Amino acid sequence: MGHFARSRPTPNADAQRTPSNQWIVGRDDMDLGAAIDAVHQRYGVTPRADSTIANDVLLTISPDFFRDDPNAHGTWREDRLKVFQAEATTFLRKTFGSRLVAAVLHLDEATPHIQAVVVPVLHHKTEEGRFRLSGKDMFGPGALHALQQAWEDRLTPHGVSPRQVGSKARHVTLREYYGTIEAFAERDPRKLVELSDPPVRGRVEGAEAYSGRVDDWKLTEEKRLRRELRGLAAEASRGRLSDRERQSRSKVVQRLQSTSMALRGAKEALTKASAELDLSKEQIAALRRTPINAIAARLEWDGPLPKKANAIDLVKAAGDLDYDQAVAWLAQNFGPAVATTAVREVTVRDMTRNVGGPKVWTKSEQTKRRIVAEQLDALAAPAYRLTVMRQDADGKSIGQNLGKSRDGSPERFWSRDEVLDKVGDLTAANISGGNIFVTPIDDDAYHVLIDDLDAPRLAEMRSEGYRPAAVIESSPGSFQAVVKVDRRYPKDSVNQWFKDMNRSRGDEAITGLTHPFRLGGFENRKEKHKGADGRHPFVAVREAVGTFCARAREVIHTYTLDAIRLAEERRQEAARRDALAERGARRLGPRQ
């Protein structure tokens, strides 16, 4: 009752606005306990020692319903407030009737809301005409969902968007909330970054010597500021990522169902198209080799890739189609002309790959080939860059791109099978101290690396709904998650999400959206991971499902919308400045 009537301190309420609070049922000096007892007596129920005698009910709407600027705390449009109060009052009285014992409209906090007290009286399960107390049944998960839906249905005609369903957000207590605010106030980020004083020139110091000392000071300060700002950037990224994830939760949809429905609805048309197709075996073979990621992106397919799947397999699985229908869909969407080109390229590759006869693999190399194949099948890129990283005497990493030659010719990329064929060469490089990295080269998908994850952060990432295409344990307890996102979104939006994800959960120092990561099956040759027995740990592929990540797509979508909004604001501001300049020029008139 103290919080209802503001009879006890309420830190998040503005005491000057407390008199504006409005009682809908009850009054500020009411005896709430007596009112609850009166309901018990009316319905003939006697609370047990462990009974819930009454429940708090909170009715609210998102701040952007009450005001145009959601951050303008403590303000509202009167017409919107009246709509909210009328709908809430009707909803409470209609839903709970005489079980409603108190309700107050609070206008002294950031956003208007109504807090009510309801006695959870329900009909007896077996004895007709009798009643029982059960907060568990009145406000259990199913009943609560129905109440929330009924409240949402009342608000929908007023333009209120659907609520977030299935959010994994954790409730934060007032104590935690105010503790966070106080902690932040004590460490204003602006106080964390300060520039030291430049060196003072000595009385007999020459200009050249002093200039050298100033340059050294600048270099030292730049390095220090980069380190300090990295922490602030990580803090900003965590806030930005959290906001985008929260915003996108209400927009998450299950695309697997819509994809399947769309393809299944086209079955009849595809059967007809199949009968009219006249494709050669070579063209069908080329369609089968259509890049898997191109198909998954076109279908918005967020399921795992079928084991050892080719293009026809994936289309069949996505739409429950037969072979002929899947071929017809591929022909319609990717075309025989593209397929013919693919046939020619594959034929040349196959002719040159096995020159010199089939290779004989050792047992160790066979194991590596199996692990590498599992990882590459999940990535499903048409080509890869292979890099061998070594450390020099000073511990600095030096990379050798295996597809680049010294004669300046274009970089060569490697197909899946060519990477498998190079396992012997890669093993030799690994044994001699090289670390083996792979970079997917793919026009249809971003392969976004979330690096240096420990187990709790990987679990946190999964709990937020992200599903990596592959998870690699690069060293004991340290993971690399590769998240696959189709390329429909601007690179800048994907890059900002990539940075925020790594600053919040992974490696805050990582840069470059197209980033190499470890190839499974080989040793991690970094000296710091060397065991007491002199051995290095193997890089393990812990998960390889190949799925595109629906959650990443939805969060990146919010980044894109924000970028569009910001660009439009800048355009309008530039237009406003131009208009002001033009008016000023007209006012001054032509120069004489």
Q: What is the pLDDT of residues 343-366, one digit of tens each?
A: 334 333 443 444 445 567 888 889
Q: What is the pLDDT of residues 223-244, one digit of tens each?
A: 766 666 555 566 666 667 777 7
Residues 315 and 407 in one domain: no
Residues 266 and 344 in one domain: yes
Q: Is residue 589 part of a domain?
A: no
- Return the SS3 of 101: strand
Q: Which residues contact 460 (CB under 8 A, 6 or more apart)?
A: 505
Amino acid 588: pLDDT: 64
Residues 347 and 369 in one domain: no
Q: How far apart are CA 5 and CA 18, in angstroms?
A: 9
Q: What is the pLDDT of residues 106-128, one digit of tens each?
A: 888 888 999 999 999 888 878 87
Q: Among residues 150, 170, 123, 159, which one has the least CA distance to residue 57?
A: 150
Residues 65 and 100 in one domain: yes
Last residue of a domain, one of 158, 181, 211: 158
Does 274 have pLDDT greater than 80? no
Q: Is residue 542 part of a domain?
A: yes
Last residue of a domain, one of 321, 353, 385: 353
- Return the SS3 of 421: helix
Task: Kindly tell me the burial class for residue 99, based on how many C-beta atoms sit within 10 Å of its own C-beta (0-12, 13-18, 19 or more).
Answer: buried
Amino acid 65: pLDDT: 82
In terms of residue numbers, what domain contains 460? 363-554
Q: Is residue 440 part of a domain?
A: yes
Average pLDDT in the 487-511 region?
87
Q: Is residue 47 part of a domain?
A: yes
Residues 403 and 489 in one domain: yes
Q: Which of 61-70, 273-282, 341-350, 517-526 has the lowest mean pLDDT?
A: 341-350
Q: H or E segment at 303?
A: none
Tokens representing residue 373 in the block: 């194949």
Last residue of a domain, one of 107, 130, 158: 158
Range picked from 138-142, 358-362, 414-418, 581-585 for highest mean pLDDT: 414-418
Amino acid 379: pLDDT: 93
Q: How far is CA 449 from CA 247, 379, 386, in A?
A: 23, 12, 16
CA 515 to chain centre: 18
**Residue in the block written with tokens 């017809």:** 328
Residue, of 358 and 555, whose pLDDT is higher:
555
Amino acid 280: pLDDT: 77
Residues 20 and 152 in one domain: yes
Q: Is residue 114 part of a domain?
A: yes
Range picked from 304-313, 505-514, 537-546 for highest mean pLDDT: 537-546
Amino acid 337: pLDDT: 45
Q: Is residue 120 part of a domain?
A: yes
Range picked from 2-11, 155-164, 277-286, 483-492 for highest mean pLDDT: 483-492
Residues 292 and 386 in one domain: no
DSSP state of 443: S
To the nearest whole number, what is the mean pLDDT of the chain?
79
Average pLDDT in the 476-484 region?
94
Q: Is residue 575 part of a domain?
A: no
Amino acid 354: pLDDT: 45
The structural domain count of the chain equals 3
What's the chain's Rg over C-alpha atoms? 32
Residues 287 and 399 in one domain: no
Task: Kindly tell me the burial class for residue 80, based on how many C-beta atoms sit within 10 Å of its own C-beta (0-12, 13-18, 19 or more).
Answer: middle
Q: Is residue 583 part of a domain?
A: no
Q: What is the pLDDT of residues 376-424, one digit of tens each?
A: 999 999 999 999 998 777 767 788 999 988 777 888 999 999 999 999 8
Average pLDDT in the 485-492 region?
87
Q: How far apart are CA 341 and CA 201, in angstroms?
A: 69
Q: Is 308 left (phi over 0), alpha (psi -120 to 50) or beta?
A: left
Q: How far is CA 123 from CA 43, 49, 130, 140, 322, in A?
A: 10, 20, 6, 16, 54
Task: Kindly tell me the burial class for residue 348, based on how many C-beta atoms sit within 10 Å of its own C-beta (0-12, 13-18, 19 or more).
Answer: exposed
DSSP state of 469: S
Residues 310 and 377 in one domain: no
Average pLDDT in the 426-430 region?
90
Residues 272 and 421 in one domain: no
Percentage of the residues of the chain whose pLDDT score is greater than 90 = 20
Residue, of 307 and 138, whose pLDDT is higher:
138
Does 286 have pLDDT greater than 80? yes
Domain CATH number, residue 371: 3.30.70.1790
Residues 308 and 416 in one domain: no
Q: Which residues contact 241 (CB under 8 A, 6 or more apart)?
A: 497, 500, 501, 504, 555
Amino acid 370: pLDDT: 94
- Return the SS3 of 141: helix
Burial 128-140 (b: 16+ CB within 10 A, else e): eeeebbbbeebbe
